[in-house]
Amino acid sequence: MSNKIEIGSKAPDFSLPDQRGNRVNLSDYLGKSNMVIYFYPKDESYGCTKEACSFRDNYEVFKKSGAVVIGISSDDIASHQAFAANHKLPFLLLSDKDKTVAEKYGVGKSLGILPGRVTFVIDKKGIVRLMFSSQLNFEKHVSESLDILKKIE
């Protein structure tokens, strides 16, 4: 059973370990910053690397707009650590090993086999302002997120 999140609904809280082993909660950011949370299939795969590097290359723009960027996949902490180091990713990567957070966010499989590639923009109040799902338009996850952030600044 996957949950249905819609634009305007409250984002589910979560608690996951980042690439350094620290716990990160959605609630840590409420009232402080907008969040761009993107779910992606696999560290070091072609599309996920392009997407992560696109978020990296626009990281300062996200910071200026008052947003944190967080990537989530089912890869383990060690994999995330290597991926972040290899591509100099300045943002958090969270390990959702059992996919419970992906399920909470309704991120299932796309094309029937691949873990979903879905980006959410969540405002400071915890309200979902954007859901963008595309397995192949890697960089569009970044441009769609930035467009929404301009509107909610």
For the chain, what is the total number of helices (H) and then of strands (E)? 5, 9
Q: Would you tell me how many other CB atoms lie within 10 Å of the CB of residue 16?
A: 20
Structure tokens at 98: 């059992």
Sole residue written with tokens 């819609």: 6
CB 13 within 8 A of CB 132: no
Mean pLDDT for the chain overall:
92
Percent of the chain with pLDDT over 70: 95
pLDDT single digits (tens) 130-140: 999 888 888 89
Is residue 16's pLDDT more than 80?
yes
pLDDT value at 105 more than 50? yes
DSSP H/E element including 131: strand 128-133
Q: Which of 11, 35, 36, 48 is catalytic?
A: 48
What is the amino acid identity at position 119? T
Render pLDDT for 27-78 as a digit per residue (tens, 0 to 9). Answer: 999 999 999 999 999 999 999 999 999 999 999 999 999 999 999 999 999 9
- Going by pLDDT thresholds of 50, 70 and 90, the confidence category of residue 110 is low
Residue with the bigger pLDDT between 5 and 82: it is 82
pLDDT at 1 over 60: no
Predicted TM-score (pTM) of the model is 0.94
Q: Is 53 a catalytic residue?
A: no
pLDDT exceeds 70 at position 111: no
Mean pLDDT for 115-144 is 91
pLDDT band per the 50, 70, 90 thresholds, residue 2: very low
Domains of the chain: 31-152 (3.40.30.10)
